[in-house]
Structure 1
Amino acid sequence: MKSVGRVSIVDTVINELRGEIARGTWQVGDRIPTESRLAEIFGVSRLSVREAVRVLVHAELLTTRQGNGTFVTATDEGRIALRRRLDRARTTDILDVRRGLDIVAARLAATMRTEEDLASLQEAMERRTAAGRAGDLDTFTDADVDFHLRIAEASHNPLLSDLYRNMSDALWETVKANQCIDEAGDDPFHTALYEAVRNGDPAAATAAALAILDDYAAEETEEGE
């Protein structure tokens, strides 16, 4: 960490704190140094540090716990903003966005997947099936989202993977709300997607990805009637 100048002191401290969080100096869950220590590190007043911390608490990068200190709660403000937007989005809108991402992810995965990717997909499929048969909705939902995230990762497109990962919370809520666990014992759609990726068939992978989303959309329509 370095001392900061006297111009735009609060903004500079905010930027320094953001930088330390982004660099991993403090991980999510870590308590940051006290106001006094930060003031000493940056060469500014405690009041400037306090105001900078207040701004980052409002941005949801930090949280203050009375009597315990200030802790890191997130590292990416862009992801926080996206999460807020997704929290307000309609399920149909989320499915529309998924449709675009899943088509690209499935097509690329069928072309770019490795043996390691296939093993990872199979493991997620097995967890999904086992959780469905056990009636464990939360574990089923975790495995379902993991499966689709691993499809995105199998595309070996880092930007696509990041976009999908940043939507994972909204995807989790969508899957759980649709209660698709009832079909877990005999789900031809996810099996078809896995087989298409394994066989290196982009057209079949795209069709299977669309079939999964059409099934979700049908479930959503039934629940809304």
Structure 2
Amino acid sequence: MSLQAAGRRSLVDDAIDQLRSQLTAGTWPIGARIPSESVIAERLRVGRNTVREAIRVLVHAGMLESRQGDGTYVRSTTDPGDLVRRIEHADLRDIFEMRRALDVEAARLAAHRRTADDLGRIRAALVRRAAADGSADTPEPHDFDRGEPAEGELDDLVEQDVAFHTAIALASHNSAMVATYRWFSDSLWRAIRTVLDDGTLPDASHALHVALADAIEAGDPDAAERAVREILEPAVVALDALLYDPTESDSGRSHSTEHDA
């Protein structure tokens, strides 16, 4: 694959696209230094400022790394934008399975590593979640089918639920997990809201969230994992049933998603 002269759509955009293509194709392996700005500018037939801006964008995206006085090096050959698009188009079951994996590990680590400050943050988030959940005083989940929810009620509950689980991720003291959880929050927010807004899918009771906080405070990772699974498993099972296709062969599952849409 060779670099081609940039078109007129947008010189910077074209330069970004071509450099990204070179990176994802493996033309320059991870750790390699890419050609100088002047060399790339000559091949693309654009100015060095255009190349510099394109490189800046790809550095920000995490694909390149600029080292002052030494050049620009390949940091990743994976386009994070493609990953974002795939997650945005993932179906609900995929989102909840991913959420379960993240929440289980975050809860187990939090039970081992939580500090007094972490517990305070988790308990405060739990109080806010209770205030947003009209069924917090009962063992039953919030049933939004019982009448029309007040304006903003559903959004508030989803926001406080995500904040509670994010507080647990913070208590894991795993920076990669915290970054992933925060980045995943938008898809997670939409998934939780869809579940709550759909009367065919179960929500978890606030009592189970209290049990999760208690297990973390007690330093019991097994109990914390059980609580997470009790919170999320009913929705995963329900989604699995909704996607079940009895006409399919051995797998009996429809594995089609919106990924390739």
TM-score, normalisation: structure 2: 0.56
1:216, distance to aligned residue in structure 2 (A): 2.4
Contact persistence 1:132–1:184 (CA under 8 A): no
Q: For the Cα contact (< 8 Å) 2:212–2:223, is it kept in 1?
A: yes
Q: Within 1, Cα distance between the matches of 2:108 and 2:205?
A: 24
Q: For 1:218 and 1:126, how far apart are their aligned partners in 2?
A: 28
**Letter paired with 2:217:** R
Give 3-state SS (helix, strand or coil) of 1:15's partner: helix
Deviation at residue 199 of structure 1 after TM alignment: 0.8
Q: How many equivalent pairs are there?
A: 167
CA offset at residue 151 of structure 1?
1.0
1:16 aligned to 48, 53, 56, which one?
56
1:194 aligns with 2:207: no
Question: Relative to structure 1, is the Cα distance of residues 181 and 130 closer, same or farther in structure 2, using a 3 angstrom cutoff?
Answer: farther
Q: What letter is aligned with 1:86?
A: I
Residues 37-84 of structure 1 show CA distances to partners (whole Å, capped at 9, x for unaligned) of: xxxxxxxxxxxxxxxxxxxxxxxxxxxxxxxxxxxxxxxx72x43331
1:117 & 1:140 partners in 2: Cα distance? 21
Alignment-derived partner of residue 129 in structure 1: 130
Confirm or deny: 8 A CA contact 2:107 2:228 kept in the other structure: yes
State how 1:15-34 maps to structure 2 within 5 Å.
15-19=55-59
Residues 108-154 of structure 1 deviation map (CA, whole Å, 9 limit, x = unaligned): 00010111111111121122121122851111111111111111111
Question: Is 2:93–2:240's contact at 8 Å kept on the other side of the alignment?
Answer: no
Which structure has the larger Rg over C-alpha atoms?
A: 2
1:209 maps to 2:228: yes
Cα pair distance change 1:90/1:16, threshold 3 Å: closer
1:97 aligned to 2:98? yes
The residue number in structure 2 matching 1:154 is 171
Secondary structure of 1:161 counterpart? helix
**Which residue identity does 1:7 align to in structure 2?**
V
Q: 1:202 to 1:185 in 2, by over 3 A?
A: closer
Tell me the CA shift for residue 17 of structure 1.
4.6
Name the Cα RMSD after superposition.
3.0
Question: d(CA) in 1 for partners of 2:173 and 2:161?
Answer: 20
Structure 2: gaps (5+ residues): 1-35, 42-49, 63-78, 135-148, 245-261
Q: How is 1:21-170 mapped onto 2 (pairs within 5 angstroms)? A: 78=80, 80-133=81-134, 136-170=153-187
Deviation at 1:90, TM superposition (A): 1.2
* % same residue: 34
Q: Which amino acid aligns with 2:128?
A: R
- Provide the C-alpha distance between the structure 1 equivalents of 2:207 and 2:117, rounded to a whole number of angstroms: 23
Question: What is the alpha-carbon distance in structure 2 between the residues aligned to residue 115 and residue 151 of structure 1?
Answer: 13
- Kindly indicate whether the alpha-carbon contact (under 8 Å) linking 2:37 and 2:51 is maintained by their aligned counterparts in 1: no
Higher mean C-alpha displacement, 9-18 vs 116-125:
9-18
Which sections of structure 1, spanning at least 5 residues, go unmatched? 23-76
Where is the helix percentage greater, Structure 1 or Structure 2?
1
Residue 106 of structure 1: CA displacement? Answer: 0.7
Name the CA distance, whole Å, in 2 between partners of 1:212 and 1:116: 24
Structure 1 residues 184 and 127, CA, compared in 2 at 3 Å: closer, same or farther? farther
Alpha carbons of structure 1 residues 185 and 174: separation in structure 2 relative to 1, 3 Å? closer
Q: Distance in 1 between matches of 2:187 and 2:95?
A: 8
Residue 171 of structure 1 aligns with which residue?
188
TM-score w.r.t. structure 1 length?
0.64
